[in-house]
Amino acid sequence: MGLTENVLEIRDLVKDFPSVRAVNNVSFNIRRNTVHCLVGENGAGKSTLIKILTGALQRTSGRILLNGEEYWARNPREAKEKGISTLFQELNVVDQLTVEENLTLGMEDTTFGFLRRTDKISRIVSVMNSLEPSIHPRQLVSTLSVAKKQIVEIAKAVASESDIIIMDEPTAALSEGEIARLFKIIKGLRERNVTVIYISHRLDEIFEIGDYVTVMRDGRHIDTKPLSEVKDRAELIKMMIGKTVFEQYTPKEGPCGEVVLRVRNLSTHKLRDISFDVHQGEIVGFYGLVGAGKTELARAIYGADPYEGEIWFRGRKLPPSTDRVIAAGLALVPEERRSQGLFSILTVRANVPVMNMKKVSRKGFISAAREREATRAFIDRLRIATSSTEKEAAKLSGGNQQKVVLSKCLFADADLLMLDEPTRGIDVGAKSEIYSIIREISAEGKSILIFSSELPEVINICDTIHLLYDGHLRETIRNGCEIDSERIIHIVTGGA
């Protein structure tokens, strides 16, 4: 056997981004034909590491050995040719083609540009048949469920003789039965000479499927060990969060005001029977991992998506329509700043007053002077770094763009402000500025809902924290007393 014991060896791997070292001196080995799990909180560096492996990002320094040989991929295609395939959350299948066409996509044999049927195709098809006989090769991929589409992708990776298949949260969109089938296939991959790198926030799955686990935290490698040596979830969680020191949270002085928002039995395709109250001046956090239903909850309250159940605001039932929700006094800073919040090709001045044009217009005519004045006021108040009110929003930095979106919502004079991932992708300085703005507006008696997948964020600023897992509101915690972050992680990763 010329094969090395370790299929992949990572040595002193470093990846620097402009303001942060995302992967910091990481070294570990992955043994051949095992299921190797990778865990860590959001921002621990898992995604960056995976992107380096798949060629989507280039390392700053360090070495990677694949089968004992130096490995370097400039793009995902090259990574695949060298033996590392990836099953992304966003599946890479073409809906309009058949299963067979998808399997052979990019490796067709042709004569003068015409497709030729070869043995290769029948071999690939037979691999898929052995994995999941119920999928017909001539079936259109668009008729398959997400789970079966995944299997098509796995079959493609196996047939192209990949050494490693990376699976990034493969169960996020699957039902329990589908998960069981996927796990059976993953276990079977060992015999096919395939190593699986498995990333998931659901810790129970890790114990069920994994042979080894590697824990990352703040860009560093914490430990790699066989799962048989990990006692329980608690031990894993301890490794994941370490002794995180949180900024001091100062509890709100005095009692909270009356109830302003009352949500009862809210359900959507993703959410299950969610009920809670929000008081005047309260900062309420919704913490959960990716896919827990935070954005869905924010959008439902905002009237952007249909829902069942009742939402009452200041004693009136909220209509399920965004413009009327805004008129009732709510505003949302959406998750995707560029595609949902910002008018990036327009100027800062055109962005700020959007949600309350009445304040800068009379009888339908805009007062340019009032508009400029209002924009300048926000540029000063939020310290937006821009050379003028006439600068295109696209030309600002991420943090300043977020401040523009925030200005837009503040200008609406909303009584209840919702912020979905308010500090995603912005630097530390802008982050703390945004926190202090949030505290300021809460002190003015406005209520704030924060939807976040960053635990330090919710612990820092929220008075009440609701924990979401898989569309359910699992537990509600008052901040201020002793916060047990291990227990929080336990709950949001699916623990009882």
Judged by CB, which is closer to other proteins: 210, or 341? 341
Question: Does residue 344 interact with other proteins by CB under 8 A?
Answer: yes
Q: How far is the CB of 453 from other proteins (least distance, A)?
A: 20
CA distances from 267 to 106, 174, 305, 310, 324 (A): 42, 19, 11, 9, 20
Q: How far is the CB of 415 from other proteins (least distance, A)?
A: 15
- Binds other proteins (CB under 8 A): choice among 390, 413, 440, 484: 390
Judged by CB, which is closer to other proteins: 136, or 376? 376
- Binds other proteins (CB under 8 A): choice among 160, 244, 347, 485: 347
Judged by CB, which is closer to other proteins: 135, or 410? 410
CA distances from 385 to 57, 115, 373, 428, 440 (A): 29, 56, 16, 15, 20
- Binds other proteins (CB under 8 A): choice among 115, 357, 385, 428: 357
Question: Does residue 361 interact with other proteins by CB under 8 A?
Answer: yes
Q: Please calculate the CA angle 18-49-431 and round it to the nearest 5 degrees.
A: 40
Question: Does residue 354 interact with other proteins by CB under 8 A?
Answer: yes
Q: Residue 250 and residue 259: Cα distance in Å, rounded?
A: 22
Judged by CB, which is closer to other proteins: 375, or 464? 375
- Binds other proteins (CB under 8 A): choice among 276, 312, 343, 435: 343
Please state whether 219 falls in left (phi above 0), alpha (psi between -120 and 50) or beta: left
Q: How far is the CB of 394 from other proteins (least distance, A)?
A: 10
- Binds other proteins (CB under 8 A): choice among 387, 436, 481, 482: 387
Buried b (16+ CB within 10 A) or exposed e, 207-240: eebbbbbbbbbbbbbbebeebeebeebeebbebb
Beta-sheet pairing, 316-317 with 114-115? unpaired
Q: Residue 23 and residue 53: Cα distance in Å, rounded?
A: 12
Stretch that binds other proteins, among 35-43, 170-178, 244-252, 342-350 (CB under 8 A): 342-350
Q: How far is the CB of 321 from other proteins (least distance, A)?
A: 9
Question: Does residue 376 interact with other proteins by CB under 8 A?
Answer: no
- Binds other proteins (CB under 8 A): choice among 45, 341, 399, 422: 341
Q: How far is the CB of 361 from other proteins (least distance, A)?
A: 5
Please state whether 315 falls in left (phi above 0), alpha (psi between -120 and 50) or beta: left
**Contacts (CB under 8 A) with other proteins, residues 263-282:** none
Question: Does residue 355 interact with other proteins by CB under 8 A?
Answer: yes
**Contacts (CB under 8 A) with other proteins, residues 403-432:** 408, 412
Judged by CB, which is closer to other proteins: 285, or 353? 353
What are residue 283's DSSP bridge partners? 448
Q: Please, what is the end-to-end C-alpha distance for the chain in angstroms? A: 46
- Binds other proteins (CB under 8 A): choice among 177, 251, 255, 364: 364
Per-residue interface string for the shown chain with other proteins, residues 281-320, x marking contact by CB under 8 A: ---------------------x-x----------------
Q: Residue 406 and residue 348: Cα distance in Å, rounded?
A: 12
What the block records as the tokens of 324 is 């009327």
Stretch that binds other proteins, among 158-166, 237-245, 348-356, 481-489 (CB under 8 A): 348-356
Stretch that binds other proteins, among 60-68, 224-232, 345-353, 422-430 (CB under 8 A): 345-353
* Residue among 308, 332, 268 at smallest CA distance from 471: 268
Q: Which residues have a Cβ under 8 Å from the Cβ of 161 and sit 6 or more positions away? A: 83
Cα–chain center distance at 344 = 23
Q: How far is the CB of 331 from other proteins (least distance, A)?
A: 9
Judged by CB, which is closer to other proteins: 355, or 438? 355
Count the residues of the shown chain that bind other proteins, applying the rule CB under 8 A: 33
Judged by CB, which is closer to other proteins: 411, or 469? 411
Q: Please calculate the CA angle 297-464-403 and round it to the nearest 5 degrees.
A: 65
Q: How far is the CB of 322 from other proteins (least distance, A)?
A: 6
156-160: long-range contacts, CB 8 A cutoff, minimum separation 24: 156/85, 156/102, 156/103, 156/124, 157/85, 157/87, 157/194, 158/127, 158/131, 158/189, 158/192, 158/194, 159/103, 159/123, 159/124, 159/127, 159/128, 160/80, 160/85, 160/107
Residues that bind other proteins (CB under 8 A): 302, 304, 322-323, 325-327, 332, 334, 339-347, 350, 354-355, 357, 361, 364-366, 387-388, 390-392, 408, 412
